[in-house]
Amino acid sequence: MHRTLWLAALLAGVATGAQAAPRHAASIVRTQFGIPHISASDWRGAAYGVAYAYAQDNLCLLAEEYVTVNGERSRHFGPAGKAVVAFEPIDNLASDLFFRSQIDIAALRKGLARQPRAAVDLIDGYVAGYNRFLRDAGPQGVPAACRGKPWVRAITRDDMLRLNEKQMLLAGSLPLAAGIANAAPPAAKAVASAGPAMALPGDGETGIGSNGWAFGGDVTSDGRGLLVGNPHFPWNGPNRFWQMHVTIPGVYDVMGGGLAGTPMPTLGFNKDVAWTHTVTASRHFTLFQLTLDPADPTAYLVDGKSVKMTKTQVTVPMPDGTPPVTRTFYGSRFGALTVVPAALMGWTGKNAFAIRDANHNNQRGLATWLAIGQAKSAADIRAAVETSLGIPWVNTIAVDRAGNALLADVTAVPNVSAAHIDGCAVPATRALLASRARLVLLDGSRAACDWQVARGTPAPGLMPAADQAVVARTDYAANSNDSYWLNTPRAPYRLLSPILGPAQSLRTLRTRSGLVEIESQLAAGKLDARIARTMAFANKSLAADLVLPALLPLCVADASLADACTALAGWNRRFDNDSRGAYLFAAFWNRVEGNPAIWRTKFDVADAVNTPRDLITDGAVGETLRAALKAAVERLRTEGIALDARWGDVHFAQRGADRIPIHGAHGELGVLNVQQAVVVPGGMTPVHGTSYIQVVGFDAIGPVADALLSYSQSTNPESPHFGDQTREYAAKRWHRLPFTPAEIAAARLGPGLTITE
């Protein structure tokens, strides 16, 4: 496109005046690893600078994300291509159908008018900053990956509203997007495929996870708060973190990270508080089983009366020359119709299923994170979270300089108590709730089975904060994605609604590993930031500690396993880059970790951190273990990998021609520094896991923060920040973040940039 036409298209409809004062203005200074420090005089300017800096680093990624939320993937990438809309891929057509049918842009526009002015200004400022970068870059300044593509375009406020709605649904109904796209009456033909591998929420560890530790003044060497935050998020795609520092003098001064399209940090620190997030075990939606009218499969019975489903027609554009796809979607008073094949939930002549998500049209998050960023204490953060119920699907873990620690498992959750679920159960309810998916299924034939309405909540049907879990202590609280029940073994939480997650039940090896390490360190003395950094990257495997002492004698007795035993005996039981034998153990453990029969001492609610344990090595279980180890040996031989290979030689990230060794491993190994990987030639490469990791304490003046972004700031291979922090992560070299004006000035790269319009 000719540059004149490019500029005209971007500037269309924008009135300018030579004498008008700038509506948007920001200063951007970059420090080591390309971290931008954005300063402005108001919220519009702050977001203007954030968007510009983000587009400099990740334009193609964000431009494609706007394609996704607008339901245009089929048109630009073909209907059969794949999109990652939550944390698992679905076909483009299903993605488009979901977003076009489920995002109510009119409602979002109306809802925005009810938000604080600062939230509106942040959205409008981000739009202006993104579009300003496109104008400045011009067609030839767009990265090669998306240069000349018609989907790289100026954005509007509606694009931001759609993107925000997508982020709110990320760990709720969005993973079931294909099921919503496929819901059709029995006689109709679905036009998109949910796919045989459609995963239910809770089916193992997907890309959402994290560790968050808040240490209070009773256990720190300086009596101040100390935070360890380690979100486990994808290494690729729109759910990558990006570091930033945003300052409005006298109003806001926060450094941390956010996802694509986020106009300010959603986790990080200011001079008085630090916070992180972990994905909560709560469910943010419920399913309703509808009893259909025998005379009409598109009508359902409520208290004996037939109610006609609503119908919405959606059209998805296809590539040029291909007719568009039109589909009719059905809705009920309980939400959109869906099918969940993996849970045997289809649309028959007798029943159908609807889904209601507590985060649908939740626009309170932005204001909540603004309040958190302006907090002066952990109590302020608690108040922001509890009042708004705007945090969508993550725990909030925080500390302050006074030595207070907070873990608030308070989110937008359906208000359904244990008694309500029990009283509104259908035959499948208990089995689904007890499954790994933990789906809450209610009876949609009774109006009384809809969510309960509590006085004072910001939206009807939300669970009040008083009925959710808050841990406020001066020793510590920790979460690794298990439920509210055992965030510290020193004070297990009282039983709450099952929609908030299972209680008095088995914890994951990662949760157990974290609590074991914390208690062990505290038994030796008080914590400081150096110890915390060491703990975060220790890469110990609790699975190895539990298994190897009994496994090695078993396999030594089998001559066919002698080489395997030698490799495992020489392993240091860690997943460091120089750990030899780690790959063999991971291949073995992958075959047996889900088998509860291998443990002699079963789970004990009174000793949840240390049970189950004691590996059984005789009889049928012993044979199972031998067979698993032999299969692991065979796998490595097939892949051409030595039994005692160094972990960093077979577990790596590719950055251009460089193969960078990556320490850490899957959480199911009981490793805290999670890296989930896929098999590639020569080993495995991370796809999600440790991302933006921070250890934050305080001195007498302000924050003292060490951090790393494992996959680096930019997704552009031509950027100097495409792999620089990845190399630092490989070497376990932490980066002290510059926060004060003097620190930023001393660390700045280049002259900086001021943008106005």
pLDDT at residue 602 above 70? yes
The mean pLDDT of the chain is 94
The string of DSSP codes covering 692-718 is EEEEEEE-SSSEEEEEEETT-S---TT
- Looking at residue 276, what is its pLDDT? 98
Q: What does the alpha-carbon distance between residue 612 and residue 509 come to, in Å, rounded to a whole number?
A: 10
Which helix (H) or strand (E) covers residue 587, if one does?
helix 582-592
Q: What is the pLDDT of residue 208?
A: 64
Per-position b or e across 243-271, b if 16+ CB within 10 A of its CB: bbbbbbeeebbbbbbbbbbbbbbbbbbbe
Residue matched to tokens 């992958």: 590
- pLDDT average, residue stretch 496-522: 97
Q: Which residue has the higher pLDDT, 171 or 630?
A: 630
Q: How confident is the model at residue 3 (pLDDT cuts 50, 70, 90)?
A: very low
3-state secondary structure 137-189: HHHHHCCCCCCCCCCCCCCCHHHHHHHHHHHHCCCCCHHHHHHHHHCCCCCCC
Digit-coded pLDDT (tens) for 431-440: 999 988 899 9
Q: Compute the average pLDDT of residues 285-307.
A: 98
Banded model confidence at residue 687, pLDDT cuts 50, 70, 90: very high
pLDDT at site 201: 53
User: How far apart are alpha carbons 341 and 88 in whole angstroms?
Assistant: 16
Q: Name the range with the highest mean pLDDT among 13-17, 608-612, 676-680.
A: 608-612
Decide: 49 and 755 in contact? Cβ < 8 Å: yes
pTM of the model: 0.95
pLDDT beyond 60 at 9: no
| Alpha-carbon gap, residue 414 to 286, rounded angstroms | 7
Residue 198 has pLDDT above 80, yes or no: no
- Give the pLDDT score at 344: 85
Residue 616 CB-density burial (10 A; 0-12 exposed, 13-18 middle, 19+ buried): middle
Query: Above 80 in pLDDT, residue 2?
Result: no
Q: What is the pLDDT of residue 572?
A: 98
The C-alpha atoms of residue 560 and residue 547 are separated, in whole angstroms, by: 20
What's CA 664's distance to the chain center, in Å?
A: 18
Structure confidence at residue 584 (pLDDT):
98
- Amino acid letter at 222? D
Cis before 414 (ω within 30): no
What whole-number percentage of the chain has pLDDT above 90?
90
Query: Is the per-residue pLDDT at 713 higher than 90?
Result: yes
Q: What percent of the chain has pLDDT over 70?
A: 95
Residue 495 is classified by DSSP as P
pLDDT at 7 over 70: no
Q: What is the pLDDT of residues 74-132, one digit of tens each?
A: 999 999 999 888 777 899 999 999 999 999 999 999 999 999 999 999 999 999 999 99
Separation of alpha carbons 539 and 693, rounded Å: 14
pLDDT tens for each residue of 335-393: 999 999 888 899 999 999 999 999 999 999 999 999 999 999 999 999 999 999 999 99
Distance between CA atoms of 294 and 282, rounded to whole angstroms? 35
Q: Is the pLDDT of residue 554 over 90?
A: no
User: At residue 634, does pLDDT exceed 70?
Assistant: yes
Q: Please give the average per-residue pLDDT across 48-56, as a whole number.
A: 98
* CA nearest to 582, candidates 643, 533, 633, 629: 643
Q: Rounded to whole angstroms, how far apart are CA atoms 416 and 132? A: 46
Domains in the chain, please, with CATH? 285-357+417-449 (2.30.120.10), 543-671 (1.10.1400.10)
Distance CA 540, CA 670 (A): 8
- H helix runs in 614-694, sequence order: 619-639, 647-650
Q: Are 720 and 65 in contact (CB under 8 A)?
A: no
User: Whole-angstrom Cα distance, residue 300 to residue 332?
Assistant: 8
Give the number of C-alpha atoms closer than 13 A to the C-alpha of residue 277, restricted to the C-beta side. 23
DSSP 199: P
- pLDDT, average across residues 268-285: 98
Position 86 scores a pLDDT of 79
Q: Which residues are catalytic?
A: 210
Q: What is the pLDDT of residue 20?
A: 66
User: What residues contact 121, with CB distance under 8 A and at least 6 apart?
Assistant: 42, 43, 44, 47
Q: In this structure, how many other beta carbons lie within 10 angstroms of the beta carbon of residue 516?
A: 18
